[in-house]
Amino acid sequence: KQEVTQIPAALSVPEGENLVLNCSFTDSAIYNLQWFRQDPGKGLTSLLLIQSSQREQTSGRLNASLDKSSGRSTLYIAASQPGDSATYLCAAQGGADYKLSFGAGTTVTVRA
């Protein structure tokens, strides 16, 4: 069974600092790796999807890398803003099926 771990569980940084969020997974036979954002009381918003054949994806201030062999993905958020405060979840989609296996998330607070 795929196990996904996110460390740290919580992170607090001053505005303007770059954020680095880590995700690790136990089964490297993934189809893709997805990063989501969840605001309190809301559903999940897809941020980036990295196919297993890719090494990274970028969208604006967000950059996600994928290293399948080591079972790791990292989400970088440049020049953080208070509006970036949320919980960030990573999810691995299996190579043999469509299930998303989620980590427990990293809750980010960006202080103004």
Partner 1 sequence: GAGVSQSPRYKVAKRGQDVALRCDPISGHVSLFWYQQALGQGPEFLTYFQNEAQLDKSGLPSDRFFAERPEGSVSTLKIQRTQQEDSAVYLCASSFRTSGRDTQYFGPGTRLTVL
- Residues of the shown chain interacting with partner 1 in the complex, contacts defined by CB under 8 A: 4, 31-32, 34, 36, 41-46, 49, 89, 91, 93, 97-105
* 23/26 Cα distance (integer angstroms): 10
| Closer by beta carbon to partner 1, 17 or else 38 | 38
* 19/99 Cα distance (integer angstroms): 28
| Closer by beta carbon to partner 1, 1 or else 112 | 1
- Least Å distance, CB 10 to partner 1, is 11
Peptide bond into 8 cis (omega under 30): yes
Amino acid identity of 20?
V
| Closer by beta carbon to partner 1, 71 or else 103 | 103
